[in-house]
Amino acid sequence: MYEVTKTMEVAGAHFLVLLYKSKCQNLHGHNWKISVTCQNETLNESGMVIDFTEIKRIVNQLDHENINHFVAQPTAENIAKWICDQIPHCVRVSVQESEGNMACYIK
């Protein structure tokens, strides 16, 4: 099994629709640290699981954007799943919203 991981940071804004009162209901921003892990039994014709630039291209769609335009309820958990669903061979995405607060989606 081959495995690759790319970690990057994106800045973006979002707001959450919650069942309780929270300042997170207001539009606000974060610098998210995102780690994407892809696995595959074989390598492509270029000798890769996936090109790191393909991972970067997909994750960078969120950079300096309102993430609500991509993910209906953009919690760190839902952002992680959305990213994982976009990337071939992706098996795990970690989204660190702030220091000490991280969510992971594992396929």
Q: And the tokens for 63?
A: 């950079």
Whether 64 is catalytic: yes
Q: Is 9 a catalytic residue?
A: no
Check if 54 is active-site: no
Catalytic residue among 3, 9, 28, 64: 64
Buried b (16+ CB within 10 A) or exposed e, 10-43: bebebbeeeeeeeeeeeeeebebbbbbbbbbeee
Catalytic choice (77, 89, 97, 104): 97
Instruction: Exactly one of 24, 54, 77, 104 is catalytic; name it.
Output: 24
Active site residues: 24, 64, 97
